[in-house]
Amino acid sequence: MNKMVEKIPIVGLQNSGKTSLIRTFQREFKALAKLKPTKGIERTKITFLDQEIVIWDFGGQEKYRGKYMHKAEVYFSDLEQLFFVIDIQDQNQLSEVINYFQLIRTALLEYSPHVMLNLIIHKYDPGMESDSNMAKLVDTVSTKFKSLADPLTSKIYQTSIFNPISVIHALSKAVLGNNILSGNLEVILGKFVEENNFIEQIEMMLIYSPDLVELGSYFREGIDPQELKMAAKDIFEAFEPKKLKIQSGEFSIDSANMELLTHRIKGGDDDYFLLVGFKHDNVYNVLDLKDKVRYLIDHIEKIMLYI
């Protein structure tokens, strides 16, 4: 797998919400209230599974914009992804946004013609879609930028920090990469266990949809999946997670010498159920395990958003 650090710029005018998007993606909601205009370029490293990505947050004030374009080759070469953020609530600056966009587009055509240009129609806050003028504006702006982007490949997203899922959805596709999207959940889970020593005690993982269809699994080598899958399904069926709305639970499968933690995972439109198994012998403290599993859940939640 590609171990190179991928660089993803996020550009747009001052105050369009770039830094807010990154903080929301990282679930650093407390930071949102204290944001100041970004000075120059601020780099944020994100590690996900075996991929390391650096998001380059290009402060959007005019005094910086000129400098970026001056060194366009340095900043915009060999990119796979770029985010361009448009503040849909700030219609006065639309012509300035278009000007900046044209400059970025020209640089991309020259230095990264194969880039995926992610157009973020931002600050489209919950409730706005019921305002027909706003909905029309979003349509017009989307069409406009899509055609301006041509011949670059582009995608449109609508986001608001007040709808964090919209942000995670827009950013995760680009940040996590398509290989993960189409990739096999099995491989992803296995890799994750391998690469995170602190959860080395994990023997198995299962992910179910609400109707108990298995979406993915991981079994440590030497473990018989069939027996455990049966046991796991029994547990879920017995507890009817949908009805009881259980958030999490602990169970033992003595025949397999296994301790199971279950957890409800928030997906895009649905909830999923994650089941993580540990060997009895390795379990000294269930609370400690739960703590570790929390980290795993955060990652799986991101994956499940668009599977």
Ligand X SMILES: Nc1nc2c(ncn2[C@@H]2O[C@H](COP(=O)(O)OP(=O)(O)OP(=O)(O)O)[C@@H](O)[C@H]2O)c(=O)[nH]1
Q: How many residues bind to ligand X according to rule CB under 6 A?
A: 20
9 binds ligand X (CB under 6 A): no
Q: How far is the CB of 146 from Mg ion (least distance, A)?
A: 25
- Measured from the CB atom, the residue of 18 and 105 that comes closer to ligand X is 18
125 binds ligand X (CB under 6 A): yes
93 binds ligand X (CB under 6 A): no
Kindly tell me the burial class for residue 223, based on how many C-beta atoms sit within 10 Å of its own C-beta (0-12, 13-18, 19 or more). Answer: middle
Give CA–CA dist 258/264, Å, rounded. 20
E strands, 23-179, where?
41-48, 51-58, 81-87, 116-122, 153-158
Footprint on residues 133-162 left by ligand X (CB under 6 A)? 160-162
Q: Which of 15, 44, 196, 201 binds ligand X (CB under 6 A)?
A: 15
Footprint on residues 228-287 left by ligand X (CB under 6 A)? none
Judged by beta carbon distances under 5 to 8 A according to partner kind, the member of ligand X, Mg ion, none in contact with residue 123 is ligand X
Contacts of residue 37, defined as CB under 8 A and 6 or more positions apart, other chains included, come to 14, 15, 59, 60, 61
- Measured from the CB atom, the residue of 15 and 201 that comes closer to ligand X is 15
**In 10 A of CB 206, how many CB atoms?**
24
Q: How far is the CB of 230 from ligand X (least distance, A)?
A: 46
> Exposed e or buried b for every residue in 139-169, given b needs 16+ CB within 10 A?
eebbeebeeebeebebebbbbbbeeeebbbb
Q: Rule CB under 5 A: which residues touch Mg ion?
A: 18-19, 38
Q: Which residue has the tokens 């993606």?
A: 25
- Measured from the CB atom, the residue of 89 and 196 that comes closer to ligand X is 89
Judged by beta carbon distances under 5 to 8 A according to partner kind, the member of ligand X, Mg ion, none in contact with residue 14 is ligand X
Judged by beta carbon distances under 5 to 8 A according to partner kind, the member of Mg ion, ligand X, none in contact with residue 177 is none
210 binds ligand X (CB under 6 A): no
Of 1-9, 34-42, 181-189, 262-270, the segment contacting ligand X by CB under 6 A is 34-42
Is the separation of the CB atoms in 249 and 257 below 8 Å? no
Q: Whose CA is closest to 85, among 175, 181, 171?
A: 171
Contacts of residue 242, defined as CB under 8 A and 6 or more positions apart, other chains included, come to 210
Q: How far is the CB of 64 from ligand X (least distance, A)?
A: 8
Judged by beta carbon distances under 5 to 8 A according to partner kind, the member of Mg ion, ligand X, none in contact with residue 161 is ligand X
Q: Whose CA is closest to 95, among 154, 157, 145, 41?
A: 145
Q: Which residue has the tokens 């807010």?
A: 20
Interface residues toward ligand X, by CB under 6 A: 12, 14-20, 35, 37-38, 59-61, 122-123, 125, 160-162
